[in-house]
């Protein structure tokens, strides 16, 4: 009986740790967005006749939330 409770407690602690980690990651991810920063993309060593298509699907508002583009 003690080993069953021990396994259950380990599973609960693991789930709580994962949930806390995801929450902390999401908080830091939103605060790390710099909406005023200009960025660029450089592709090196592309294959010949390789077509690359980039689509802007969202922009970031000043509060850090995403707004879908048309």
Length of the chain counted residue by residue: 70
Q: Name the more confident of 35 and 10.
A: 10
**Residue 57 pLDDT:** 93
pLDDT averaged over every residue in the chain: 79
Q: What is the pTM of this model?
A: 0.36
Q: What is the domain partition of the chain in residue ranges?
A: 2-68
pLDDT classification of 65: cutoffs 50, 70, 90: confident
What are φ and ψ of residue 59, in 5° steps?
-125, 165
Radius of gyration of the chain, Cα coordinates, nearest whole angstrom: 21
Is the pLDDT assigned to residue 25 strictly greater than 90? Answer: no
d(CA 9, CA 15): 10
- Per-residue pLDDT reduced to its tens digit, 46-55: 777 778 888 9
């Amino acid at each position: 009986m003690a080993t069953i409770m021990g396994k259950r407690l380990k599973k609960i602690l693991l789930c709580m740790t994962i949930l806390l980690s995801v929450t902390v990651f999401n908080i830091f991810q939103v605060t790390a967005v710099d909406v005023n920063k200009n960025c660029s993309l450089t592709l090196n060593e592309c294959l010949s006749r390789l077509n690359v298509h980039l689509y802007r699907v969202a922009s970031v508002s000043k509060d850090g939330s995403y707004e879908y583009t048309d």
